[in-house]
């Protein structure tokens, strides 16, 4: 069963951070913040993504959280979205 999955990461190395963002996109996740993605994944896909990200980061400094969030909790989400300056995500796209 696919449920919302949020991936948030702190990665110092630009190339590693870029490759992780590309991995998230490969799994159909959409960027929700500079260093956070969200989308629908089942448990197998989450496991795959986790292994893929583990291979990308290897021993480089960083922290990644892959958090499934059930529909009930998604409905309780509160968001403040005061827009974005155009291109403000571009720092990740090296």
Smallest gap, in angstroms, from Cβ of residue 1 to its own copies?
12
Q: Name which of 85 and 94 has its Cβ closer to its own copies.
A: 85
Distance, C-alpha 65 to centroid of its chain: 8
Compute how many residues bind its own copies; rule: CB under 8 A. 43
Over the window 37 to 56, marking each residue x when it contacts its own copies by CB under 8 A and - when it does not, the resulting string is ------x--xx--x--xx--
- Best CA proximity match to 66, nearest among 82, 54, 81: 54
What SS3 class is residue 47? helix
| Measured CA distances, 32 to 5, 28, 79, 85, 86 (Å) | 12, 13, 11, 14, 14
Binding site for its own copies (CB under 8 A): 6, 8-10, 12, 32-36, 43, 46-47, 50, 53-54, 57, 59-70, 72-74, 76-85, 88
């Amino acid at each position: 069963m696919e449920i919302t999955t949020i991936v948030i990461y702190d990665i110092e190395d630009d190339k590693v951070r870029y490759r992780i963002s590309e991995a998230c996109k490969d799994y159909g996740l959409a960027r929700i913040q500079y260093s956070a993605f969200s989308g629908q994944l089942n448990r197998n896909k989450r496991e795959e993504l986790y292994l893929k990200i583990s291979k990308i980061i290897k021993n480089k400094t960083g922290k990644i959280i892959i958090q499934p969030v059930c529909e009930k909790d998604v409905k309780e989400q509160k968001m403040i979205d005061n827009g974005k300056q155009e291109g403000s995500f571009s720092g990740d796209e090296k």
